[in-house]
Each structure stands twice: as structure tokens, then as C-alpha cells.
Amino acid sequence: MLSTTHQPIANPDAIVQAGEWRLTILTPGLVRLEHSPDGKFEDKASTFAIKRNLPTPDFQAIKTEAGGLSLTTANMILTYDGKAFTTHGLQVFGVAMSGSSLCGLDVC
């Protein structure tokens, strides 16, 4: 019988949060995005992820003065304006290594 251990609460070092939003960096290519007007977030296991307590991947997160975020991992660059998710306020770009520099797939 298949046994699954549920660990729905992520490592705190993998969470970037401010006000109405929370991002959990699960792997260099997988980020859980949450927006909640009341600033309360769900930590129950879901079909998407029953185990979020993973080793924290390397990432750089820079919060902007306007309340947004710029997040960089080995596989993506994410920019977020800190408001409700929209196609203009949340953008994710896959990245590729070109020599020793990181660049978006659309320009490499």
C-alpha cells in the first residue's frame, strides 16, 4: 500500500510574504502563489502539493518600495506588483544559462 506523509507547511526560509500576498519557493522552477485580501493563507495539503516542507532552493527576493517583488531562481525570473494577480502585474520568465550570465529564453 502506498503511504504518503503529508507535510503541507513549507520551510519558513522558502516563504516570501507581505500584506495580501505570499509566495512559496518549492523548487527552482516551482513557486506557489497566493493572494488574499485579508492576508490569511491556507496551509492544508492540496492535490497540488501535499508535501511543501522541501529543502529551500537558492533564490533572491527583492521587495520593491511599491509593495511588489522581484524573485530570481536558477530557472525563472518572476516580477509581481503586489496586487491581485493579473497578466500585467505578475510575470514569470523561464531562464537559460548563456555563458556565465542569466538571460530570458526570449532573448538568448
Task: Give the count of domains, the chain.
Answer: 1
What is the reported pTM? 0.75
* HEC string for the chain: CCCCCCECCCCHHHEEEECCEEEEEEECCEEEEEECCCCCCCCCCCCCCCECCCCCCCCEEEECCCCCEEEECCCEEEEECCCCCCCCCEEEEEEEEECCEEEECCCC
7 in any annotated domain: no
Q: What is the pLDDT of residue 10?
A: 85
2 in any annotated domain: no
pLDDT tens digit at each of 108 positions of the chain: 444 677 778 889 999 999 899 999 989 998 989 999 999 998 877 766 666 778 899 999 999 999 999 999 999 999 999 998 888 899 999 887 555 455 554 444
36 in any annotated domain: yes
24 in any annotated domain: yes
4 in any annotated domain: no
Domain coverage including residue 22: 12-104
3 in any annotated domain: no
1 in any annotated domain: no
